[in-house]
Amino acid sequence: MTGSPHEHPFDVPLPFDLRPRAEKAVRDLQLRQFVGSATRGKDRGRRDGFREVFGDRSEGVRTLAGAIKQHTLDHLDWYLERFIEAAGGAGVHVHFAQDGAQANAICLEIARRQGCRLCVKSKSMVTEETELLPALLAAGIETIETDLGEFILQLDHDAPSHIVTPMIHKDRAAVGRAFARELGVPYTDDPARLTAIAREHLREKYRRADLGVSGANFLVAETGSIVICTNEGNGRFCTSAPRVHVAFAGIEKLIPGPEHLGVMLKVLARSSTAQPLTCYTHCITGPRRADEHDGPDEVHLILLDNGRTEILREETRELLRCIRCGACLNACPVYRRIGGHSYGAVYSGPIGAAITPLLKGVHNFPDLPKATSLCGACFEACPVKIDLPRQFIALRRRMVEQRVTGAWERAVFRLWGWSLRSAWRYRLVSGVQRVVLRWLGRGMGPNDAGPSTRRWVSRIPGVLKGWTGERDFPAPASRSFRQWWEGEGRSER
Amino acid sequence: MKPQAQYPGADRAAFVARVSGALGRAGPTSPTEPAPQVEDRVARVTGPEADLGAVFAAQAAAAGMTVHPTNRAGVQREVRAVLERLGVRRVMIGEGLMLEGVAADLSAAGLELVAWRERGFAAMYDADAGVTDVQGAIAETGTLVCCSGPGRARGLSLVAPIHLAVVRRSDIVPDLVDLGVMRASEAALPSSVVLITGPSKTADIEGILITGVHGPREVHVVLVNDA
């Protein structure tokens, strides 16, 4: 089947240039208002939830959750083997995919062997990563996203812009238009009505579907269980109604045992939607058994690497602790302004800015490690305490080592490094800089009278033009601190 | 049976070897330090000393479920009263100690029993309500624990717009961290364990909360004081 209307907006020319997308997003006032108010509300909900339930133990429970994930990652090969044995023992077919194309090929082969024609899919970031939907459609398998947000995005040929709330960038009128256009229903922008339309439409699909695809939030090594957290119930339909269930999971989803699951569940929903627990936490251990009435005849799990073993190396390992709660997106002052699509990849926000360059090469996404103010709000929000600012700095170091940074940037920093090597060099460079900046700021003081009056530079040519395009730059004082100190400063004490 | 061709994808040994390589070792070796202990002083929110019935009822209500307290003798009466009040006509009923006699009682009251055993999911789409017992409940979060098994279909708590669950006071464990204990006491983990905390909901459209998306719009809990 060709001519599938689903285009992937993350098929971006490389190296990816963040600026045009970010600029467009920043100028879209409605988007900014939506994303801003939604993220601020969730961020507040997360803080309140933790404070109310854990009080001054909040730090401790986050430390524990982080330690559980870190321990599993430190021994990931061992826990993987344990999981594969336990899941296999429960009757799950476990598959191994080195990259996204392999994962999709496995899924298509399962569908082919089982003769599946209609697939219902629940929300899964990892299938966004492998671009499963277009692959299934291209193979002639009718595939429906069943999470309400993802369903709307599929109808509207759009892509998710938030890990948890995929259509955070869309308003109800856009949903109403998409429903009217694609489903042939009368236009309405009442969210309750729109939800009811989606429910009816998707029930028809559940009745007929023979393949259900899901992601996974956790894989429990000891029991071989696949754990899926959802709110709408579509995930339960996708994993219960069709005769074949295929789950996709990155290798970082493992945790050791069920006692750890309790801790991870305590932090996941609180961090992502400020709920104590998602409406449904579904723990699947193998297919329907002989004495059961419903459930899939076959359960397959596709374990995906797709660059994760690169991140698993010691320096970046902590990034794989991520449980995709979205708390760092909601807390991030950059994400709140530029939205998810500006990041040019499936994973957006601070965590996306850190892992996308690692998964796809820093030379391909050189803007992302810089798409942060290093304020640390993400670190503070993270339920597994990933030190994202530290990772951004490490990525920037890697960019310098791999000479990914631009010629101008390199020249400026080389000069800076040179000037810091002795006192006279520093005095020379800072003196030149002061003279030039004061000259550029000439006539820009409020009253250009005395030497203490602050001057402002409103336009710097060359590489810094962009900076002064939005705001003025304070020019240095007429004398440096050193000059002042050597003159009257010392005696003024 | 004739051997099937290999699925596409990587070989298990090579796949795991890559992970070992990234960890800087030749192959999987058992961890030198134990997995982190889940200590009560760090993670536990609700202790066994709490009034579990009261905590559960409060949390279940906060999650959007309606709690109907009763005693052992009042189960049938309460189930029927709730379903009649909601105007339920077609009902599917699971098996369980707490549900004995419920089907006969509802049938006598004129409700139609859906034959879900024979037709599975296909029959369930026509039901107005599903009635189940639970295999546990969690006070901390007001959660129902529903396991699959004989007489306990997955769809009973999912497909109909109304789910009614009968929970005994003695089913309730204090906290999510007690999940590990529940597993240890069972011979084999059921193929499906679902923790249900409130009706199905979404806030995907402009963050406006809507209940009843794909799963039940209403969840009613008949809480049986069997202490």
pLDDT at A473: 83
pLDDT at B2: 44
Residues 6+ apart with CB under 8 A from A390: none
pLDDT at A6: 40
Orientation angle between helical segments A258-273 and A29-54, nearest 10 degrees: 140
Q: Report whether pLDDT(B184) > 90.
A: no
User: Span B203-209, mean pLDDT?
Assistant: 88
Range in A15-29, A210-224, B59-73 with the lowest mean pLDDT: A15-29
Q: Is A135 on the interface with B (CB under 8 A)?
A: no
Asked if residue B150 is part of any domain, the answer here is yes
Q: Is A216 on the interface with B (CB under 8 A)?
A: no
Test the A interface: residue of B4, B29, B192 with most A CBs within 10 Å: B192
Q: How far apart are CA A90 and CA A106, in angstroms?
A: 20
Q: What are phi and psi of A375, to 5 degrees?
A: -75, -20
Q: What are phi and psi of B148, to 5 degrees?
A: -80, 160
Name which of A57, A102, A262 is nearest B10 (Cβ-Cβ): A102
Q: How far apart are CA A184 and CA A416, in angstroms?
A: 63
User: Token pair of A450, please?
Assistant: 């005395």
**Residues of A numbered 74-113 whose beta carbons fall under 8 angstroms of chain B's beta carbons: which are they?**
74-78, 80-81, 84, 90, 94-98, 102-103, 105-106, 109-110, 113
In this structure, are strands B162-168 and B129-133 parallel, antiparallel, or unpaired? parallel
**Residue A127 in contact with residue A133, Cβ under 8 Å?**
yes
Asked if residue B82 is part of any domain, the answer here is yes
pLDDT at A293: 93
The reply to whether residue A152 touches residue B204, judged by beta carbons under 8 angstroms, is yes
**Residue A263 in contact with residue B140, Cβ under 8 Å?**
no
- For CATH 3.40.50.10420, the residue range(s) in chain A are 18-309
CA distances from A105 to A130, A132, A138 (A): 10, 9, 12
- Give the model confidence (pLDDT) of B125-149 as tens digits: 999 999 999 999 999 999 999 999 9
Q: Identify each DSSP E strand in A185-311 by its residue range.
A: 211-214, 218-220, 225-230, 244-250, 254-255, 280-284, 298-304
| Position A2 confidence tier, pLDDT thresholds 50, 70, 90 | very low
**Residue A369 in contact with residue A400, Cβ under 8 Å?**
no
Size of interface A-B (CB pairs under 8 A): 283
User: Token pair of A103, please?
Assistant: 């994962």
- Which residue's structure tokens are 């073993």? A309
pTM: 0.92
More confident residue, A385 or B226: A385
Range in A3-12, A200-209, B150-159 with the lowest mean pLDDT: A3-12
| Position B98 confidence tier, pLDDT thresholds 50, 70, 90 | very high
pLDDT at B187: 67
Asked if omega into A15 is within 30° of 0 (cis), the reply is: yes
pLDDT at A199: 94
User: Span A15-35, mean pLDDT?
Assistant: 91
Asked if residue B15 is part of any domain, the answer here is no
Q: Report whether pLDDT(B183) > 80.
A: no
| Position A483 confidence tier, pLDDT thresholds 50, 70, 90 | confident
**Residue B201 in contact with residue B211, Cβ under 8 Å?**
yes
pLDDT at A4: 37
The mean pLDDT of chain A is 91
- Cα A454–chain centre separation: 42
The mean pLDDT of chain B is 93
DSSP H or E run through B106:
helix B102-108
Give, as one character, the DSSP assignment of residue A475: P
For residue A256, which of B213, B125, B34 has the smallest C-alpha distance? B34
CB-neighbour burial class of residue B96 (10 A; exposed 0-12, middle 13-18, buried 19+):
middle
Structural domain range at position B72: 49-225
Q: Which residues of A128-146 are buried (b: 16+ CB within 10 A; e: fewer)?
A: bbbbbbebbbebebbbbbb
Range in A202-206, B90-94, B113-117, B185-189 with the lowest mean pLDDT: B185-189
Residues 6+ apart with CB under 8 A from A321: A66, A69, A70, A73, A252, A384, A385, A386
> How many domains in chain B?
1
Bin A403: left if φ > 0, else alpha if -120 < ψ < 50, else beta: left
Number of other residues whose CB lies within 10 A of the CB of residue B73: 8
pLDDT at A3: 31
Asked if residue B1 is part of any domain, the answer here is no
**Residue A420 in contact with residue A426, Cβ under 8 Å?**
yes
Quick one: what percent of chain A has pLDDT higher than 90?
76
Q: How far apart are CA B132 and CA B163, in angstroms?
A: 8
Q: How far apart are CA A110 and CA A89, in angstroms?
A: 20
pLDDT at A343: 95
pLDDT at A465: 80
Q: How far apart are CA A296 and CA A393, in angstroms?
A: 47
Asked if residue B38 is part of any domain, the answer here is no
pLDDT at A453: 62
CA nearest to B41 within chain A: A57
The reply to whether residue B15 touches residue A149, judged by beta carbons under 8 angstroms, is no
User: Token pair of A325, please?
Assistant: 């709660």
Q: Report whether pLDDT(A410) > 50.
A: yes
**Residue B137 in contact with residue B56, Cβ under 8 Å?**
yes
Bin B86: left if φ > 0, else alpha if -120 < ψ < 50, else beta: alpha
Q: First vs last Cα of chain B: how many Å apart?
A: 55
Bin B111: left if φ > 0, else alpha if -120 < ψ < 50, else beta: beta
**Residue A293 in contact with residue A286, Cβ under 8 Å?**
no
Q: Report whether pLDDT(A139) > 70.
A: yes
User: Span A340-367, mean pLDDT?
Assistant: 95
Q: How far apart are CA A409 and CA A398, in angstroms?
A: 15
User: Span B41-47, mean pLDDT?
Assistant: 96
Orientation angle between helical segments A76-89 and B12-22, nearest 10 degrees: 150
Hey, what CATH class is A18-309 in? Answer: alpha beta
- Give the model confidence (pLDDT) of B52-67 as tens digits: 999 999 999 999 999 9
Q: Which residues pair with B122 in a beta bridge?
A: none
Q: How far apart are CA A398 and CA A404, in angstroms?
A: 8
More confident residue, A71 or A405: A71
Q: First vs last Cα of chain A: how many Å apart?
A: 83
Orientation angle between helical segments A76-89 and A58-74, nearest 10 degrees: 80
**Residue A160 in contact with residue A10, Cβ under 8 Å?**
no
User: Token pair of A254, please?
Assistant: 């493992």
**Residues of A numbered 30-59 whose beta carbons fall under 8 angstroms of chain B's beta carbons: which are they?**
34, 37-38, 41, 53-54, 57
- Give the model confidence (pLDDT) of A437-464 as tens digits: 888 887 765 555 555 567 888 888 777 7
User: Token pair of A179, please?
Assistant: 């429903």
- Helix, strand, coil shares of chain A as percentages rounded to 5? 55, 10, 35
Quick one: what percent of chain A has pLDDT higher than 70?
96
For residue A293, which of B58, B70, B121 has the smallest C-alpha distance? B121
For residue B181, which of A261, A113, A219 has the smallest C-alpha distance? A261
CA nearest to B141 within chain A: A276
pLDDT at A5: 38
CA nearest to A52 within chain B: B45
Give the gap in angstroms from C-alpha B53 to the nearest C-alpha of chain A. Answer: 18
ipTM of the complex: 0.96
In this structure, are strands A118-121 and A211-214 parallel, antiparallel, or unpaired? parallel
Residues 6+ apart with CB under 8 A from A424: none
For residue A254, which of B46, B31, B124, B104 has the smallest C-alpha distance? B31
Contact residues on chain B for A37, CB-CB shorter than 8 A: 207
User: Span A351-374, mean pLDDT?
Assistant: 95
Q: Looking at residue B77, which CATH number applies to its domain?
A: 3.40.50.10420
- Give the model confidence (pLDDT) of A395-405 as tens digits: 999 998 888 88
- Helix, strand, coil shares of chain B as percentages rounded to 5? 35, 25, 45
The reply to whether residue B214 touches residue A237, judged by beta carbons under 8 angstroms, is yes
**Residue A250 in contact with residue A323, Cβ under 8 Å?**
no
User: Span A193-203, mean pLDDT?
Assistant: 94
pLDDT at A315: 94
